[in-house]
Amino acid sequence: MKNYTDQEIIQGLKSGESYAVKYLAKENLPVIRYFISKNNGNDEDAKDIFQDALFIIIEKIYNDDFVLQGMLSTYLFAICKNLWLMALDKLKAAKNYELRRSIEHNENDFTEYGDSAFYENVFRQCFDSMDEVSQKILKMYWMEIPPVEIAEKLGYSYGYVRKKKSECMKELKSKIMEHPDYKELEKNLNIK
C-alpha cells in the first residue's frame, strides 16, 4: 500500500475516499489495539473506539478553521486514548452503581426505598418535561446504542447527536437541581 501524507489522508477523508480510512486503519489500528488490550479492552473495543475517533476527525476536518497541529496518527491516537479512558470511567461508574444497588436491596431498609422512589419521581418529572428529541437521544444513549446508530435512526448528523446529548444532559441536570422537591431536600440535608 502506498504511503500517504497527512494532508493527502485529510483530503481523502473530506472527499469520502475509502483509501484514506483503510490507510489510517492499517497504520494506526495495531497501536490502538495494543493500548486498549493493555487497558482492559478487546479487539472489538479497539475497532469501536477507532471508528468513533474517525468520525470525530472527519467532523473536525469539515470545519474550515481546522488546522492539524502535529501528526495525524498522534492526533488519532490521542482521541482514541481519551475515548477509551472515558469508556472505562463509565464502566467503572456502572459497576459501582450496580454494587451499590445490590447492597441497598440486601439491606431491605424502607427509607432507602422511599428515597429511591423520591429521586426517581424528581428525575421522571424533569425528564418528562424535556422535548421529545432530547428524550429520544438520552434514552438511546442510556441503552448504550452507539452515537453513529442514533444519528442514523433519528436522521441527524453524528456531530449533532453528540452535541445534543451533551446539551440534554446539562438541561436535565439543571432541571433536577431547580426542581422544588430537590431544593427542599437540599435545604433539609444542608447539601450545598
pLDDT class for 114, splitting at 50, 70, 90? Answer: very low
To the nearest whole percent, how much of the chain has pLDDT over 70?
81
Q: In this structure, which CATH number among 2.20.28, 3.40.30, 1.10.10, 1.10.1740 belongs to the domain 1-88?
A: 1.10.1740
Q: Is the pLDDT of residue 191 over 70?
A: no
pLDDT digit string, tens, across residues 54-112: 999 998 898 878 888 889 999 999 999 999 998 888 877 776 666 666 665 555 444 44
The mean per-residue pLDDT over the stretch 158-163 comes to: 86
Total residues belonging to the chain: 192
Checking phi first, is residue 108 left (phi over 0); if not, alpha (psi -120 to 50) or beta? left
pLDDT class for 30, splitting at 50, 70, 90? Answer: very high
The fold adopted by the segment(s) 109-192 is: Arc Repressor Mutant, subunit A (1.10.10)
What is the pLDDT, as a whole number, of residue 192?
A: 46
Output the DSSP codes for the chain.
-----HHHHHHHHHTT-HHHHHHHHHHHHHHHHHHHHTTT--HHHHHHHHHHHHHHHHHHHTSTT----S-HHHHHHHHHHHHHHHHHHHHHHHHHHHHHHHHHHHHT-HHHHHHHHHHHHHHHHHHHTS-HHHHHHHHHHHTT--HHHHHHHHT--HHHHHHHHHHHHHHHHHHHHH-HHHHHHHHHHT--
pTM greater than 0.85 (yes/no) = no
The Cα 97–Cα 29 span in angstroms is 32
The Cα 24–Cα 54 span in angstroms is 9
What is the pLDDT, as a whole number, of residue 190?
A: 52
* Residue ranges covered by each domain of the chain: 1-88, 109-192
pLDDT class for 189, splitting at 50, 70, 90? Answer: low
pLDDT digit string, tens, across residues 166-177: 898 889 888 888
Q: Is the pLDDT of residue 46 over 60?
A: yes
**Better-predicted residue by pLDDT, 165 or 188:** 165
